[in-house]
Each structure stands twice: as C-alpha cells, then as structure tokens.
Amino acid sequence: MTTTEIPQKRWKQFCERISELYRGAVSIHIIGLDGRKRPVADDVPLRTVVLQKQTLCNDVVTIEAGRPDERPLQHQIVEPIRIVLRKDGESGRYNHLEIFGETGTTEIDFHPGINPALLEKLAA
C-alpha cells in the first residue's frame, strides 16, 4: 500500500477538490487517544469536506456525509496535524484517508477509491 501525505499548505485545496469531484460513499471511524476504534458512518454518500480556520492556530476539518433525503451526519476533526492518503496496490486508487488530530485519528474509507488524477499536484 502506497502512502501520500498532503502538505499542510494544500489542505484547503485537497478538501475542496474532494468535495467538488468525488461522488462515492465513505465509511468513517474514529480511533481515540485510548486506542479504541468506533464507527461514525458506514457506506454513506460523501457530501463535503471543508477546512475552516477558527483562529490563527485552530483549524477544523468538517466532513458531511449522508443520503440526499436525510439530514447529513457531520464529523469534525479539531486541530488536524497530518492528512495521509493510502493507495490500494491492486486498483491504483486512494481508498483510505487518515486525519490525525489533537483528540485522535479519523479514518475514512472511500467506496470506490479516489482516482489519483483528481489529486495531481497536491502532494508535491
């Protein structure tokens, strides 16, 4: 499995690109600081991924997912530290995203995986 880290200066562009161009489903899990993994969403359509600057030193990534006829689920990652994509060797697509934050790690699985062409130049 190939790993690609998105540089912090490109996080906003990465979130915008995913929101605009990805039309698949996601499963979301949180791994807390205690190491326990808990589900947040399972195989629901991704709506948006947004990076917001709350203050000079406080960022928040908000993920919205859900079916069009339902109220969307919102998951927030406060103070993201790293954003890492993992590519499946067989399909060549990015199928796993990890966002490391102050309160734990959010894991997002994409169904289907993200076409690498959508993310060209973001990891440079």
84 falls within a domain:
yes
| 81 falls within a domain | yes
Q: Are 92 and 2 in contact (CB under 8 A)?
A: no
Structural domain span for residue 81? 2-119
Q: What is the CATH number of the domain that holds 94?
A: 2.70.180
* pLDDT tens, position by position, 40-88: 999 999 999 999 987 777 899 999 999 999 999 999 999 999 999 999 8
The total number of structural domains that make up the chain:
1
- The separation between CA 109 and the C-alpha centre of its own chain, rounded to angstroms, equals 8
- State mean pLDDT over 29-38: 96
Q: Which of 5-14, 27-36, 55-64 has the lowest mean pLDDT?
A: 55-64
Annotate 53-73 with DSSP letters as a single string.
Answer: EEETTEEEEEEEE--TTSPPE
Any domain includes 48? yes
Sign of torsion over alpha carbons 101, 103, 105, 106: negative
Can you give the pTM of this predicted structure? 0.90
86 in a domain, yes or no? yes
Contact between residue 20 and residue 38 where contact means Cβ atoms under 8 Å apart: no
Alpha carbons within 13 A on the beta-carbon side of 64? 12
Residues above pLDDT 70, as percent of the chain: 96
> Residue 124 domain-assigned?
no
Question: Is 17 within the bounds of a domain?
Answer: yes
124 — pLDDT class (breaks 50, 70, 90): low
Query: Does residue 44 lie within any of the structural domains?
Result: yes
pLDDT band at 122 (very low <50, low <70, confident <90, very high): low
Measured in whole angstroms, how far is the alpha carbon of residue 41 from the centre of its chain? Answer: 13
